[in-house]
Amino acid sequence: MPLPESSHYIPHLAYDSVVFGFSKGKLKILVMEYHDTGLFALPGGFVRKNENLDDAVKRGLFERTGLKEIYLEQVHLFGDINRFDPAIMKRILEANGYSVPENYWMLDRFFSIAYYALIDWEKVTLKPDTLSDSIGWYEIDQLPDLIFDHKEIVNKALLTLRENLDKKLIGGNLLPEKFTMNELQSVYEAILGQKIRRTSFQRKMLSLDILDRHEKLFTGKSHKAPYLYSFKST
């Protein structure tokens, strides 16, 4: 596969996505590792010249997760001069066997538009892109060192997610169709990074009138079985 051509993409503009998933009570994000470099980064990419910005992000996420319908929110455009380091980009490309021309476009200054995505962890089929040999889930507080300002991007995305937690119905995007109140509470706790009072949370969620109650979930444990809930479709 040849090096991507400048003529196909908008120069100086990249996107980086913070893909949140939830499993085993922990909030996690997707991180890629580039071939033979030990460098970790957020899944990102470039915008084609005839492509809407949002579509570019969706395309990148589809290629890596197999998901077509993804909940997306824009976070911030990072545009400091020093956020980008062409030496690192060159190292990544060369580690993949490319010989990089002197003024190759991917070594220029880059702005990055950050998005966060919320996905149901179970529905994902991970696939590394051509430059990387792994893509995987990392707990939010156990991330490896990330290139450029990607750590800052993660922090800003998490902050934005927290601010949106009450305004937008976020829980549903990180859980399967049906879930228990306890699971929903765990999602909120993982996002906020703190414990929530069980009874208050249940009362509030039920009073919002956004949940449908379904059959009970019998887990085999020796105690009362919890109800399953789903978010109302309308």
Structure tokens, 121: 């962890």
Residue 90 makes contact with its own copies by CB under 8 A: no
- E strand spans, the chain: 9-23, 26-34, 40-41, 44-48, 71-78, 111-118, 132-139, 179-180, 211-216, 227-231
Q: Which does 224 bind (CB under 5 to 8 A by kind): its own copies, DNA, none?
A: DNA
Least spacing, CB of residue 109 vs its own copies, in Å: 7
**What Å distances lie between residue 188 and 26, 102, 145, 166, CA to CA?**
10, 48, 26, 10
Q: What is the DSSP string of 124-146?
A: ------TTEEEEEEEETTSPPPB
- For the chain, give percent helix, strand, coil, nearest 5: 30, 30, 40
Tell me the two tokens of residue 48.
């084609």
Per partner kind, with CB cut-offs from 5 to 8 A, the member of DNA, its own copies, none near residue 68 is none
- Residues in region 91-130 near its own copies by CB under 8 A: 109, 111, 113
* Contact pick of 13, 95, 126, 131 for its own copies (by CB under 8 A): 13
Which residue do the tokens 């220029």 mark? 108
Candidate list 36, 69, 80, 122; residue touching its own copies; CB under 8 A? 80
- The listed partner (DNA, its own copies, none) that binds 125, CB under 5 to 8 Å by sort, is none
Listed residue (177, 179, 176, 234) closest to 205, CA to CA: 179
Could you tell me the smallest distance in angstroms from the CB atom of residue 113 to its own copies?
Answer: 5
When the beta carbons of 134 and 219 are compared against DNA, the nearer one is: 219
State which of residues 47, 92, 117, 174 lies at the interface with its own copies (CB under 8 A): 47
Residues near DNA, by CB under 7 A:
180-182, 197-200, 202-204, 206-207, 216, 218-227
Contacts for 201-207 with beta carbons within 8 Å, 24 or more apart? 205/181
By CB under 8 A, is residue 216 in contact with its own copies?
A: no
The structure tokens 């706790």 sit at: 189
Considering beta carbons, is residue 32 or 113 the nearer one to its own copies? Answer: 113
Q: Contact letters (x/-) for its own copies, 156-185, by CB under 8 A?
A: -------x---x------------------
